[in-house]
Structure 1
């Protein structure tokens, strides 16, 4: 997926992809070996079903995020997710040698709201409601991803959020990742509380404010 960075700062990057190659919903598929895409699962107004998502069974934070985004009355939905432990060949500058990599795909439930401009403002708004942590090493790489089709409504744009949590042990990495997901869930709740006519992002909010010990974010080519 070729990407272009739009903006970045300490602990975050927002980029856009120029390639549309997938649709929502999508069917299960295998990647080879043990890796598998389990396919789209409709959680809209059925947040309790998130407990059956294999990826969510690895992380309490990811489970809460899926349930929050898809809860009854939410303006948003999730289109997919993944998470897993990655060990670094070379430790990061802070000394951490492992992290949890992930992606969580989020979109508006109303198809006509999933335009590049509105999805970009959603990315900014989410980052504007997420604070850094004195305890956990977290970062966010957010990509605006075009789709060939969204539930039969044609081309649109959604967010792929790569939330990362790093540490010196597996437990530290998973704890940081849970914190990152919980922060996203709280941010989603705050956006859902806004009146419908209120802009999600006005341009006056800081992105990812009060970051402490951030990880350098990057978007792979």
Structure 2
């Protein structure tokens, strides 16, 4: 009889302890959930393409998550400024004289023109759908913009920021670069791997040449 009572007591004690443990677990889970709700999410701070001024003194970095352009002094490694631009900036190019930066903003379909010395946007130019690439000609006369959403490349007058020409190209133009003599604009395409060559002149009609291999590109300029 004594043994039976003892066993019942142990059983009741185990059940009480189990209930207490379960209650503690629920409390901890509840507190953890509340803490997660009260803690703000960490801000995203990714950066994208970079560019240097011709003298190498200033580094420019576009920040898609914060919609800004960061200017950094390369000698001191110090932050000079963070300039607000359009939504979802994707690339930046600098004029040959180092006075202006051009930022392609994919989210607002615009090109922000930044005065580097003043560290401020001095103009916003409307362009085509999803601009992702930008380049400045070696003589500083032209600014080219790759419009990913409509498969076009736009050529702007750098002085007036007016559109000189719009060229239809292959699927999803992305990266842009002028040849050293400034006569040809090279366009990469996001998925195909092709490179399109456009004459860098303000003509209404373009006859693009598409190169499909890197060896073909070397042959064209050998």
What TM-score, normalized to structure 2? Answer: 0.22
Larger strand proportion of the pair = 2
User: Which protein has greater RCO, CA pairs closer than 8 Å, 6+ apart?
Assistant: 1
Greater share of residues in helix: 1
* TM-score with structure 1 setting the length: 0.22
